[in-house]
Amino acid sequence: MSGQWWQRGVVYQVYPRSFGDSNGDGVGDLQGIRQRLDHLEWLDVDAVWLSPVFRSPMADFGYDVADYCDVDPLFGTLDDLDTLIADLHRRGMRLLLDFVPNHTSDQYPWFIDARSSRTAEHRDWYIWRDPAAGGGPPNAWQSAFLGSAWEWDGQTGQYYFHSFLKEQPDLDWTNPEVRAAMTDVLRFWFRRGVDGFRVDVVNLLAKGPELADATHPDPHDRWGDEPAIHPLMRELRVVADEFDDRVLIGEIWLPPAELVTFYGKELDELHLPFNFGLLELEQWQAQTVHEAIVAYEKALPPKAWPNWVLGNHDRRRLATRVGHAQARVAAMLLLTLRGTPTLYYGDEIGMVEVELPREVWRDPQGLRGGQTRDGCRTPMRWDDSALAGFTTGTPWLPLDQPAGTDVATRRDDPASMLSLYRALLRLRRAEPALNLGDWHDLGRAGSAIAYMRISGEPGGRRFLVCLNLAGEPSPLPEAATSLRGEIVVSTLPTQGRARFEGRRDLAADEGLVIRLD
Ligand code: NOJ
């Protein structure tokens, strides 16, 4: 078998608060995840990425880390994490943790020391500035969670910088001591057997010369073209390469041309800079989807490996963004494109965004005036009981989902979203054309797109994928109409295995994977 595991494989994101609660406190935990590994093995994913489980005051639900090398008691212990790693490995799966290098919690001992005095040992591990000449914050930079990115520290008479909450002060990555401490964190986990990291807002690490006034108000793209970022990426990669088979996936919200620079000129930076091109589409239409795919494929440097994302803990649920029928087409797209897919827990059973009244909101982004992310973070539904098999206590967010949206109900229904995901995942694993094969665009017609996946192996198979991205019939792209083969997966539950012989149209919401003759 050629290719690295992270090229052939599929990543599954678990939001640890919401996967399984073993101790009845209403919040998911590591033991709760361990109890659900059968599902992940059955589903046939390759790696589990856990959003942060480190010690944290939970101001941003774990993205405010107070100890990078320990597990928060809410989730369990370091031993629990070791056991989870061992369990996953025994089942042939991998574990990815979430590395949050841009900022710590204000409760991190480094920051507690830093704010104790201007001469403290860790003072310059963070970013401090005097007030502007006329008083007030040093400049107009805004936090991603609204409001100034500067917080006044009365005790030492300076401002500190925070890209997110004031409880999440940014580390100063120009400081070699910070870089050494943080790369040691990576080594700590790699030695424990962790297979890689999803790295949080990695492009924000380099702030630009002297935090010059922002031309872009959105912190996510503020530092997009900052050259100082690339040496930092290479430092992280050197550490990953000290170990076998590890992967670094970076969270970067940038357009394709800038995003792909994070692979590194020599492919010596991140293995997979997350590609959010499909997640960010405002319109789910053949034209926009096709353009996003083509633009990304075109921007990719030779030999850089692509990846695709359709859901995560920061964005509205896929089934709500595109509707149920199209969520099936989207699953087929995600799992047949060239590149590593990342699935978000619950999308495989068609979980929808839960519209929550403000009284139950927990997400600081929503509470500070932005859009709440709670609706996509609600607990996984394992069965149709009142507490959904998630907890025996009071769930931290409501379990509301339409009837039948649970693993037990959907597992034995061959027409369900879950069965579709599993069929696609198993096919993808079995067929080199679908995991490592080339991608050939066959274009767009009406609301349909079509492409081929072709195995590079001698005598390898070829697959045709035809997707109708709308709820009305559409002609097929011309280049697909003359091809012949066997339909091996369809988004339309009633459609069994059948021959594909020169069809010219797709039905509403129809998606087909066809093994070509
Ligand atoms: C990106 C994470 O995905 C998000 O959930 C978090 O709030 C911010 N980074 C800050 O760490």
Cα-to-centroid distance, 95 and ligand 1 (Å): 19
Which has the minimum average pLDDT: 268-282, 335-349, 491-505?
A: 491-505
State the average pLDDT over residues 367-395: 97
| Cα(300)–Cα(112) distance, integer angstroms | 43
- Whether the CB-CB separation of 497 and 449 falls below 8 Å is answered with no
* 473 DSSP 8-state letter: -
pLDDT score recorded for residue 516: 97
Which has the minimum average pLDDT: 12-16, 225-229, 260-264, 405-409?
A: 225-229
Cα-to-centroid distance, 73 and ligand 1 (Å): 21
With both helix axes pointing from N to C terminus, report the angle between 417-430 and 324-336 in degrees, rounded to the nearest 10: 10
| β-strand partners of 467 | 449, 511
| Residue whose CA lies nearest to ligand 1 atom number 10 | 63
Pocket test residue of 56, 60, 104, 362 for ligand 1, highest count of atoms within 8 A of CB = 60
Mean pLDDT of the chain: 95
Cα-to-centroid distance, 313 and ligand 1 (Å): 9
Cα-to-centroid distance, 191 and ligand 1 (Å): 26
Q: Is 327's pLDDT higher than 70? A: yes
- Ligand 1 first shell, C-beta below 6 A: 60, 63, 100, 164, 200-201, 251, 313-314
Domains and CATH numbers, the chain: 5-103+176-424 (3.20.20.80), 109-161 (3.90.400.10), 438-516 (2.60.40.1180)
Atom of ligand 1 nearest to the CA of 64: 11
Of the listed 184, 242, 478, 486, which one is catalytic?
A: 242
pLDDT score recorded for residue 217: 46
Pocket test residue of 56, 63, 204, 221 for ligand 1, highest count of atoms within 8 A of CB = 63
**Using one digit for the tens of pLDDT, what is the confidence trace for 422-473?**
999 999 999 999 999 999 999 999 999 999 999 988 889 999 999 999 999 9
The residues, any chain, with a CB within 8 Å of residue 353's CB and separated by 6 or more, are 316, 317, 319, 320, 321, 375, 376
CA distances in angstroms from 55 to 17, 93, 212, 357, 440, listed in the order given: 13, 25, 33, 29, 46
Token pair for residue 442? Answer: 């066959």
Of the listed 46, 151, 200, 269, which one is catalytic?
A: 200
| Residue whose CA lies nearest to ligand 1 atom number 4 | 314
State the average pLDDT over residues 166-174: 97
The pLDDT > 70 percentage for the chain reads 96
Q: Tell me the pLDDT band of 156, cut-offs 50, 70 and 90.
A: very high
**Using one digit for the tens of pLDDT, what is the confidence trace for 83-92?**
999 999 999 9
Helix (H, G, I), strand (E, B) or coil at 121: coil
Q: Tell me the pLDDT band of 215, cut-offs 50, 70 and 90.
A: very low
Q: Is 216's pLDDT higher than 70? A: no
Count CB neighbours of 454 within 10 A: 20
Pocket test residue of 314, 367, 373 for ligand 1, highest count of atoms within 8 A of CB = 314
Quote the Cα angle for 89-17-429, to 5°. Answer: 35
| Residue whose CA lies nearest to ligand 1 atom number 11 | 63
**Using one digit for the tens of pLDDT, what is the confidence trace for 130-151?**
999 899 999 888 899 989 999 9
| Residue whose CA lies nearest to ligand 1 atom number 8 | 63
Cα-to-centroid distance, 304 and ligand 1 (Å): 25
| β-strand partners of 463 | 453, 515
State the average pLDDT over residues 163-189: 97
pLDDT score recorded for residue 464: 98
Cα-to-centroid distance, 451 and ligand 1 (Å): 34
| Residue whose CA lies nearest to ligand 1 atom number 3 | 314
Residue in 18, 164, 7 with CA at minimum distance from that of residue 101: 164
Residue in 388, 425, 424, 394 with CA at minimum distance from that of residue 407: 388
Atom of ligand 1 nearest to the CA of 365: 7
- Amino acid at residue number 187: R
Q: Is 207's pLDDT higher than 90? A: no
Atom of ligand 1 nearest to the CA of 60: 7
Classify the C-alpha dihedral 246-250-256-258 as positive or negative: negative
**Using one digit for the tens of pLDDT, what is the confidence trace for 481-505?**
999 999 999 999 876 679 999 889 9
Question: For this structure, is 242 an active site residue?
Answer: yes
Question: For this structure, is 241 an active site residue?
Answer: no
Cα-to-centroid distance, 63 and ligand 1 (Å): 6
State the average pLDDT over residues 161-170: 97
Residue in 423, 443, 429, 445 with CA at minimum distance from that of residue 513: 423
pLDDT score recorded for residue 318: 98
Q: Report H helices in 107-174.
A: 109-114
Q: Going along 392-447, which residue ranges are E strands?
A: 438-445
Residue owning tokens 């709760």: 32
CA distances in angstroms from 228 to 262, 291, 450, listed in the order given: 12, 30, 40
State the average pLDDT over residues 354-377: 96
